[in-house]
Amino acid sequence: MRNYIQKGDDITVDSPADVLSGAGVIIGNLFGVANGDAQTGKPVVLSTVGVFDLPKTTANDITVGAALYWNDTAKEVTTTASGNTKIGVAIAAKSGAGTVATRLNGTF
């Protein structure tokens, strides 16, 4: 196909803020995990699929298969849909503070 660009698992975008490698980044409805450090306005590669340990909301008890959303204000995963962007599903249960294994769904 002459109009094919790429598979789309990794997308290069201008960073909306200073980010560190492994941080969640959201631009509109596009969510990914930064593959490296980047300053605001500089290119950063975002992985949009795969499984990543991401910081979670302490108050949420997350179950396997739970829909996960990104709270961009707190920069963490939550099970609260309202006001947040859906990013994937949990592949492991997690209570309390820490991270949760998150399977990204390639930004719906």
- What mean pLDDT comes out for the span 31-55? 97
State the average pLDDT for the chain: 95
How many other β-carbons are positioned within 10 Å of the β-carbon of residue 47? 17
* Residue 74 confidence (pLDDT): 96
Q: What is the dihedral of CA 73, 37, 108, 99, to 10 degrees?
A: -60
* Residue 107 confidence (pLDDT): 64
pLDDT, tens digit, 9 for 90 and up, residues 56-74:
999 999 999 999 999 999 9
